[in-house]
């Protein structure tokens, strides 16, 4: 087999996380013994060749993980759209012996890649004919392997749940929305905010859901009436009357009315000013959405996709069709390149043809779910209660440690329940509060503003009821006529609910449906691949570690960063992958003396070879004896004059902060689904106790009777943890190059 020489290229619009993908491609290729090149400035660089095509080594991609944009540059290239340009590009690749390319870009770039591959044989033949290359060289380059990664902030690509850059763009949008909301609320103002996304309403829709906006206009679901301006103005007016201090409309750049007429921000502004009789401010978010540091998710997505791309190229056979790597249900997925591009373009086509039903059906189920949820959340008041329908009294409480997103979930649950005509009760201070009778009826506006707030507005604590607590809780359930309970929380919340279930024989009041909604920064709950709060904590860790790394300056220093997670290494591993930590210590694997000796030797040889920064991430319970301070002392002592060592225990900053967009989106979805499930159970007089979550791509309500079977009770974590299989990728990419920088 011919030796693989791989080139990586970023093309089209830049997206945060592209650097992580480039880093992963370069380092995985090197580790597998392949030569690897970067083509600077997109396809234009491929056409120009020369200095634009550079061989990469381990260090060429050091220190880029945390940078926004793409360090190898991107460009739009008209020359590559021509056959002459592509022939020239082929010649340049052959000159370097490159026989595989990894293209990171949007559907335009991937279309270009596909055309290039289809033409490859004829381009090579033309190069022989013109005498540019010999027949022998042509034979060596009979085929070109191509793998695509979708780098696009729009999240518009068919077949993948997320594209590289979309999550960070949502971060920028929610940050801006939070800022706008606070000023809008102070002055009781109306704002129209325009976000990017081309033909895709993903950023607008999720941005609206995450920020608690009042209305959204997206290309896939135009307003269903012609006088939408009147309806919108009426909605905002009703919202004000109901007590909202701000009115915010999010507009996707591709928004149109049901006749296909473009809706711009000035039109919305004018329409609202005329109808509301007040000034309406417009904010066009523009390129800030492409800017800033990549989120933890985008860094890890780029990393995992880049790793997989090299794996595919190295195993590619000449006849293999090009693939694109997508992510589906948390796993990398290989999609046929051209088919996926065509399906992506079919959505744009459906919108252009005003076939909105089809456009919506081509988006993912979470997209249409989110749209439905948003339509409930944005109502100014709930649907009036239907007197003919039986209503239930559903209580919502938070339990366990605070997790960012708890309020978002409670808000969604309360509004969903009220909108269905039921009574929603809020319990303050967890199970302790329930025992003490801290129960109050919630209304539509009791949860106003909760969509974006960190912490727990209901109040939470870690108390697990026992003994006489059960009497008190049973009494309060009866006194308040509670028909069902939604318990939003972490490990102790699950334990508390489990304890109630076990004590049902003694306390008939506990024979009601109860659902646990996973909310814990530790991501250590069974039945769900993600718990609400973990993504926020991960981003807090990444942000803190970025700063810590910068503080090292010119000194030679090793940091041992301790992160939370109890006995679950999720935050340590994913935080380590997103920051380029060279070593991650987790409770799942433990730490041995031999490990530490190895690590000391690696650190010493690395610093001797010129490295300036060491980064080790340690889960708080990785080992009870080899603590963070022990490790620091050991490394310091052994490092002598070569390097010094500093601990950084991140502590509670990981539990605080406003929830990340992903946590808010999940919290909205989970909150509504849990109440829906409780209502169904109430309607059939059921008493099921369950813990819900997202697993293998679907929402599952697991029977609480299985709780003990699926957990590792000693370490308070699920027996199965999906993310553990990613460990080797994180280690591979951060291992030491000659003068390594993370």
Positions marked catalytic: 154
The residues pairing with 644 across neighbouring beta strands, listed in sequence order, are 557
Sequence length of the chain is 742
DSSP per-residue string spanning 459-486:
--------THHHHHHHHHHHHTT--EEE
As measured in angstroms, the least distance from the Cβ of 160 to ligand ADP is 14
Helix, strand, coil percent values for the chain (each to nearest 5): 45, 20, 35
Tell me: does residue 690 bind ligand ADP (CB under 6 A).
no
Burial class (CB in 10 A: 0-12, 13-18, 19+), 355: middle
Tell me: does residue 77 bind ligand ADP (CB under 6 A).
yes
Tell me: does residue 343 bind ligand ADP (CB under 6 A).
no
Cβ distance to ligand ADP smaller for residue 28 or 77: 77
As measured in angstroms, the least distance from the Cβ of 196 to ligand ADP is 12
d(CA 14, CA 302): 13
* Contact pick of 12, 400, 569, 671 for ligand ADP (by CB under 6 A): 12
Binding track over 81-100 against ligand ADP, x by CB under 6 A: x-------------------
Tell me: does residue 155 bind ligand ADP (CB under 6 A).
no
As measured in angstroms, the least distance from the Cβ of 337 to ligand ADP is 13
d(CA 242, CA 418): 15
Judged by CB under 6 A, the stretch of 102-110, 217-225, 416-424, 717-725 that binds ligand ADP is: 102-110
**Beta pairing, strands 280-284 & 247-252:** unpaired
Size of the residue set binding ligand ADP (CB under 6 A): 17
Q: Are 655 and 455 in contact (CB under 8 A)?
A: no
Residue whose pair of structure tokens reads 């690509």 in the numeric block: 157
Judged by CB under 6 A, the stretch of 74-82, 366-374, 594-602, 656-664 that binds ligand ADP is: 74-82
d(CA 93, CA 88): 9
Tell me: does residue 11 bind ligand ADP (CB under 6 A).
yes
Tell me: does residue 576 bind ligand ADP (CB under 6 A).
no
Judged by CB under 6 A, the stretch of 76-84, 301-309, 339-347, 404-412 that binds ligand ADP is: 76-84
Main-chain phi, psi angles of 279, to 5 degrees: -70, 140
As measured in angstroms, the least distance from the Cβ of 366 to ligand ADP is 23
Tell me: does residue 76 bind ligand ADP (CB under 6 A).
yes
d(CA 24, CA 29): 8
Judged by CB under 6 A, the stretch of 77-85, 388-396, 400-408, 680-688 that binds ligand ADP is: 77-85
As measured in angstroms, the least distance from the Cβ of 43 to ligand ADP is 4
Cβ distance to ligand ADP smaller for residue 349 or 511: 349
d(CA 353, CA 358): 10
d(CA 705, CA 689): 8
Half-sphere exposure of 180 (CA within 13 A, CB side): 27
As measured in angstroms, the least distance from the Cβ of 84 to ligand ADP is 12
Cβ distance to ligand ADP smaller for residue 15 or 477: 15
Cβ distance to ligand ADP smaller for residue 345 or 446: 345
Cβ distance to ligand ADP smaller for residue 8 or 512: 8
Q: Each residue of 650-687: b (16+ CB within 10 Å) or e? A: beeebbebbbbbbbbbbbbbbbbbbbebbbebbeeeee
Tell me: does residue 80 bind ligand ADP (CB under 6 A).
yes
Q: Are 518 and 692 in contact (CB under 8 A)?
A: yes
Both tokens of 435, joined, read: 């025992």
Cβ distance to ligand ADP smaller for residue 30 or 324: 324
Cβ distance to ligand ADP smaller for residue 195 or 500: 195
Tell me: does residue 43 bind ligand ADP (CB under 6 A).
yes
Tell me: does residue 160 bind ligand ADP (CB under 6 A).
no
Residue whose pair of structure tokens reads 């695509």 in the numeric block: 148
DSSP letter, residue 656: -
d(CA 507, CA 509): 5
As measured in angstroms, the least distance from the Cβ of 290 to ligand ADP is 11
Binding track over 103-132 against ligand ADP, x by CB under 6 A: --xxxxx-xx--x-----------------
- State CA 179 to chain mean position distance: 21
Tell me: does residue 470 bind ligand ADP (CB under 6 A).
no
Cβ distance to ligand ADP smaller for residue 115 or 314: 115
The residues that touch ligand ADP, with contacts defined as CB under 6 A, are 11-13, 43, 76-77, 80-81, 105-109, 111-112, 115, 152
């Amino acid at each position: 087999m011919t030796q693989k020489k791989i080139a990586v290229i970023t093309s089209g619009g830049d997206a945060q996380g592209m650097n992580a993908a480039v880093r992963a491609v370069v380092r995985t290729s090197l580790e597998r013994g392949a030569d690897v090149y970067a083509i600077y400035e997109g396809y234009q660089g491929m056409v120009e060749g020369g200095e634009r095509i550079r061989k990469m080594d381990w260090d060429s991609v050091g220190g880029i993980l945390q940078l926004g944009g793409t360090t190898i540059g991107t460009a739009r290239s008209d020359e590559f759209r021509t056959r002459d340009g592509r022939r020239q590009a082929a010649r340049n690749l052959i000159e370097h012996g490159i026989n595989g390319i990894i293209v990171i870009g949007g559907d335009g770039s991937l279309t270009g890649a596909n055309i290039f591959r289809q033409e490859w044989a004829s381009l090579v033949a033309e190069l022989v004919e013109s005498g540019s290359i010999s027949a022998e060289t042509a034979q060596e380059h009979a085929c070109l392997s191509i793998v695509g990664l979708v780098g696009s902030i729009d999240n518009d690509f068919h077949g993948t749940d997320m594209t590289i850059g979309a999550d960070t763009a949502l971060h920028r949008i929610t940050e801006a929305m939070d800022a706008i909301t606070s000023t809008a609320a102070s002055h009781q103002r109306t704002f129209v905010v325009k976000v990017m996304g081309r033909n895709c309403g993903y950023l607008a829709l999720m941005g609206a859901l995450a920020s608690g906006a009042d209305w959204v206009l997206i290309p896939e679901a135009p307003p269903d009436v012609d006088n939408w301006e009147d309806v919108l103005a009426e909605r905002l007016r009703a919202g004000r009357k109901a007590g909202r201090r701000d009115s915010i409309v999010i507009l996707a750049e591709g928004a149109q009315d049901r006749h296909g007429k473009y809706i711009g921000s000035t039109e919305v502004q004018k329409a609202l000013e005329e109808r509301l009789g007040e000034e309406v401010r417009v904010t066009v978010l523009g390129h800030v959405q492409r800017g800033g540091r990549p989120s933890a998710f985008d860094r890890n997505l780029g990393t995992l996709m880049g790793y997989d791309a090299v794996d595919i190229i190295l195993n590619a056979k000449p006849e293999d069709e090009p693939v694109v790597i997508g992510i589906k249900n948390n796993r990398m997925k290989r999609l046929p390149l051209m088919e996926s591009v065509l399906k992506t373009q079919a959505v744009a086509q459906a919108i252009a043809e005003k076939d909105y039903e089809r456009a919506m059906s081509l988006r993912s189920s979470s997209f249409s779910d989110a749209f439905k949820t948003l339509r409930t959340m944005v109502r100014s008041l709930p649907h009036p209660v239907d007197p003919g329908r039986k209503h239930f009294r559903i209580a919502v409480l938070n339990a366990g440690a605070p997790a960012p997103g708890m309020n978002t979930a409670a808000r969604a649950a309360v509004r969903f329940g009220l909108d269905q005509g039921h009574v929603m009760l809020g319990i303050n201070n967890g199970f302790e509060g329930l025992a003490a009778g801290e129960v109050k009826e919630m209304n539509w506006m009791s949860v106003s503003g909760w969509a974006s707030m960190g912490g727990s507005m209901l109040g939470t604590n870690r108390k697990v009821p026992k003994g006489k607590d059960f009497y008190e809780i049973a009494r309060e359930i009866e006194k308040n006529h509670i028909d069902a309970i939604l318990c939003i929380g972490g490990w102790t919340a699950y334990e508390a609910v489990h304890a109630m279930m076990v004590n049902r024989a003694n306390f008939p009041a506990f024979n009601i449906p109860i659902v646990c909604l996973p909310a814990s920064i530790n991501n250590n709950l069974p039945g769900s691949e993600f718990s609400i709060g973990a993504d926020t904590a991960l981003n807090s860790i990444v942000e803190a570690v970025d700063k810590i790394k910068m503080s090292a300056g010119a000194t030679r220093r090793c940091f041992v960063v301790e992160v939370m997670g109890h006995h679950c290494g999720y935050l340590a591993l994913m935080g380590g992958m997103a920051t380029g930590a060279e070593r991650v210590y987790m409770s799942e694997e433990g730490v041995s003396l031999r490990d530490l000796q190895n690590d000391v030797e690696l650190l010493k040889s690395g610093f001797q070879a010129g490295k300036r920064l060491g980064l080790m991430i340690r889960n708080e319970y990785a080992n009870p004896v080899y603590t963070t301070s022990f490790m620091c002392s050991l490394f310091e002592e052994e490092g002598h004059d070569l390097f010094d060592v500093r601990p950084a225990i991140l502590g509670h900053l990981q539990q605080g902060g406003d929830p990340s967009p992903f946590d808010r989106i999940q919290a909205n979805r989970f909150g509504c689904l849990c109440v829906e499930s409780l209502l169904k159970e109430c309607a059939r007089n059921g008493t099921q106790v369950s813990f819900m979550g997202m697993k293998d791509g679907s929402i599952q309500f697991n029977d609480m009777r299985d709780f003990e079977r699926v957990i590792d009770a000693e370490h308070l974590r699920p027996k199965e943890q999906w993310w553990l299989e990613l460990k080797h990728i994180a280690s591979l990419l951060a291992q030491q190059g000659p003068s390594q920088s993370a």
